[in-house]
Every structure is written in C-alpha cells, then in structure tokens.
C-alpha cells in the first residue's frame, strides 16, 4: 500500500512538471495534431501537373489536338514550348521539366502508319514515379478529328527514359538518403549544443569569457561541418559500391552543395537549441522537423502530387532543395550553375538561421 502511495506521488509530481513545462505540453498535443492534418492532406501518390514542355514540329490541328488532350488529362502541365528535342533534354537535365513531349514534323503521315509511333515522350528516369506517369501518357488514346479513337499500336507513343533506363529504385533513393541522414544527424548534433552547455553548467564559464554570441555559434557549427562531410563521403562510397549509384556530375559541385546543406541543417539545429530548455525537448523538435522533411521534400512521395500549401511548407525545408541538387548533379550530370537557385536558397537559409540563433542566444542563466 505504501508502495502505491509513493508511485502515485511520483506520478502526481510528473504531471505537475509537465503542466508547468508549456513547451513540452504543447509538443504532446500539437505535434501529433499538426502532423496528422498536414500529412493526411499532403501525402498523395496521385501525380498531377508535372512540369512539362513540348516540341510541335508538325504544328497541325491534329498535333495541337494531341497536346490539348494530354494537357486536359492534368497529368502534366505544359508551361514551356520549345523548338527541338535537344532543348527538351537540356530542360530535363537542369530539372526545369520532368517530361517532354516531342511531336515530329511528319505527325500527320504517322497517323496513317500503324507501325510507327505518333510522338516521343522524354522522361526524367531518375524518378521512377515520373516514368510510370510517362507510361500512362504513352498509352493515351488519341481521338481524331472525326471523333473515332485511333488504335495504331499497343504503344502509339514512344517513351525515352533518361538517366535510369533500368528503372532501379535504389538509384533514385540513395541521393535523397544522403540528405535524410545528414538532416537527422546535423540538426540533432547542434539542437542539443546550447542546451547541453546549460544542463552541464558550462554556460556559467561562457559568461565569464569574452566570446561573442556569433563567435560561439560559429564555433559550435564548424566541427560538425567536418563530420557532415565525412558522413557524406561514407554514404557516397557505399552508394557507389553497394547500389551502383552513377556519379554523372562533378564531385566538386556536389560537395559544394553538400557543404551548403550541412551549414543550413546545423544552423537550424542551433536555432532549435536556443528555443528548447532540455535535451529531451531538443530531440522532440528534431523529430518534428525530420518527419516533414522526409515526407514533403520529394524523397518518398511525388512533390507535384501535394497541395500547394504543403508544397509551400516543403520549399522552406533545406532537404527539399538539397535533394534537387544531389539528384541533379549525381544522376543527371547537371552543373551547379544550372541549379544555382537551389544553392542560393540553402546559403540564404543558413545565414538567416545563424542570425536568428545568434540573436536569441544570451549568455545568461535563466
């Protein structure tokens, strides 16, 4: 009986402590509520409005009808009209488009030749989901001007898959996996940095030193930058050795992108560290950032299938931009200058997060 009273006393003490700790109590209620609402609406395997472009060398009413019917399916969204297949390939390489439709000049004649493909669909094969969408377009029934459905061949539209013709999912996963692992480790390392100093009493020593806030933040980040680059190299070597990851781009470009992403993740962790009051809270906040990063960044689910609000949130996450960089450089052989906007976003994020963390940090004990 006395044991039960002691257990109840400890239980009552823990409930009181949780009630006083508003941040932890808010996490208990807010995290599952926000994530359920966000992911319930955001996770959608049905792809709509993929970024696409087309080339119409025929420029006839029949070819324009084909473009209009593909557009009406809402599978792709034609936002660019190009003049050659080389421009389509360049758009796919730089990541500006995922699918390109090429209609040859003899399109009208091909309508009368059942053994020839009507057109070509050029696909970014680094994403298997996009390839499956392209296959849907390839089987798209073309309705002629007379109103009858033309069935010229089982595959009336030819599909050309670039960068991953074998359609191996590991090639698609590994470049994103580099970012996921770095997101978790880098944010967690620095998320507990200031909190750990406070819990161990080292913050008292920092108060008596002339170290400025910015100097302390930079000093906390730099060692983990080196660790992050080592982790990147390990994952890259294992991806090449175990999964046959192709490295088509310049490794120097890739490491610059990785460096910007590591800096962004570390400064995000520092910002979390200035908000939380315990290592437990810091780890909770890290998981709160990690889960949206995995589910909304395009790592697992198609980015275009998410509603615009989820896409807007995803654009604020560093992992979204690093995945575009890593897949572009490693899989498509894109140059860093072609993806400069994604790199600038990561650099800007790191500078902003460092400024916020520095401003929030105060070398004073609570």
DSSP annotation string for 107-162 = HHHHTT-TTS-SEEEEEETTSHHHHHHHHHHHTPPEE-TTSPEE---SSSEEEEEE
- The least confident of 30-44, 141-155, 188-202, 233-247 is 141-155
Most confident of 17-21, 46-50, 153-157: 46-50
First and final C-alpha spacing in the chain: 40
CA dist., res. 241 & res. 210, Å (int): 48
Answer yes or no: is pLDDT of 153 > 50.
no
Answer yes or no: is pLDDT of 326 > 90.
yes
CA dist., res. 119 & res. 125, Å (int): 18
Answer yes or no: is pLDDT of 59 > 50.
yes
201 SS3 class: coil
Domains and CATH numbers, the chain: 50-162 (3.40.1710.10), 169-360 (no CATH)
Q: What Rg do the C-alpha atoms of the chain give, in angstroms? A: 26
What is residue 278's predicted lDDT score, i.e. its pLDDT?
78
Q: How confident is the model at residue 158 (pLDDT cuts 50, 70, 90)?
A: confident
What is residue 46's predicted lDDT score, i.e. its pLDDT?
66
Averaged over 263-289, what is the pLDDT? Answer: 86
316 SS3 class: coil
What is residue 139's predicted lDDT score, i.e. its pLDDT?
73
Answer yes or no: is pLDDT of 118 > 70.
yes
Helices (H) and strands (E) in the chain, counts: 15, 7
Q: Which two tokens stand for residue 238?
A: 């294992």
Q: How confident is the model at residue 40 (pLDDT cuts 50, 70, 90)?
A: low
Mind listing the pLDDT tens digit for each residue in 330-350? 999 999 999 999 999 999 999
* CA torsion, ordered 357, 218, 221, 276, to nearest 10 deg: -20
Answer yes or no: is pLDDT of 199 > 60.
yes
Answer yes or no: is pLDDT of 151 > 50.
no
Cα 57 from chain centroid (whole Å): 35
Q: How confident is the model at residue 309 (pLDDT cuts 50, 70, 90)?
A: confident
Strand-pair category, 99-103 with 119-124: antiparallel
Averaged over 188-207, what is the pLDDT? Answer: 74
Most confident of 55-69, 143-157, 229-243, 253-267: 253-267
Instruction: Give me the residue label for tokens 């400024």.
Output: 355
Q: How confident is the model at residue 26 (pLDDT cuts 50, 70, 90)?
A: low
The fraction of the chain above a pLDDT of 70, given in percent, is 78
What is residue 145's predicted lDDT score, i.e. its pLDDT?
46
Q: How confident is the model at residue 262 (pLDDT cuts 50, 70, 90)?
A: very high
């Amino acid at each position: 009986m006395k044991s039960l009273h002691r257990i109840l006393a400890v239980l009552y003490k823990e409930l009181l402590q949780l009630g006083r700790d508003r941040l932890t109590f808010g996490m208990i209620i807010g995290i599952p509520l926000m994530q359920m609402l966000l992911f319930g609406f955001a996770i959608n395997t049905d792809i709509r409005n993929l970024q696409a472009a087309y080339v119409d060398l025929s420029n006839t009413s029949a070819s324009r009808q084909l473009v209009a019917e593909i557009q009406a399916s809402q599978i792709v969204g034609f936002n660019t009209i190009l003049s050659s297949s080389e421009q389509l390939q360049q758009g796919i390489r730089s990541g500006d488009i995922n699918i390109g439709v090429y209609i040859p000049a003899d399109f009208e004649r091909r309508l009368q030749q059942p053994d020839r493909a009507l057109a070509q669909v050029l696909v970014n094969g680094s994403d298997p989901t996009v390839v499956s969408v392209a296959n849907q377009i390839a089987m798209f029934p073309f309705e002629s001007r007379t109103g009858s459905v033309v069935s010229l061949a089982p595959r009336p539209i030819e599909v050309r898959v670039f960068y991953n013709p074998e359609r191996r999912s590991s090639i698609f996963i590994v470049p994103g996996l580099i970012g996921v692992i770095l997101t978790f480790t880098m944010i967690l390392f620095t998320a507990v940095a200031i909190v750990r100093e406070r819990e161990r009493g080292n913050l008292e020593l920092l108060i008596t030193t002339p170290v400025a806030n910015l100097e302390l933040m930079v000093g906390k980040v730099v060692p983990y930058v080196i660790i992050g680059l080592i982790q990147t190299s390990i994952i890259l070597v294992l991806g090449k050795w175990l999964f046959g990851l192709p490295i088509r781009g310049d490794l120097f470009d890739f490491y610059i992108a990785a460096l910007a992403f590591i800096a962004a993740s570390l400064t995000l962790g520092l910002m979390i560290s200035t908000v939380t009051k315990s290592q437990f809270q810091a780890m909770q906040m890290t998981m709160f950032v990690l889960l949206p990063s995995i589910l909304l960044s395009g790592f697992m689910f198609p980015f275009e299938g998410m509603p615009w609000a989820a896409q807007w949130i995803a654009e604020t996450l560093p992992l979204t931009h690093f995945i575009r960089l890593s897949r572009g450089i490693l899989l498509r052989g894109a140059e860093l200058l072609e993806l400069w906007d994604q790199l600038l976003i990561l650099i800007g994020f790191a500078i902003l997060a460092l400024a916020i963390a520095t401003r929030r940090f105060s070398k004073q004990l609570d």
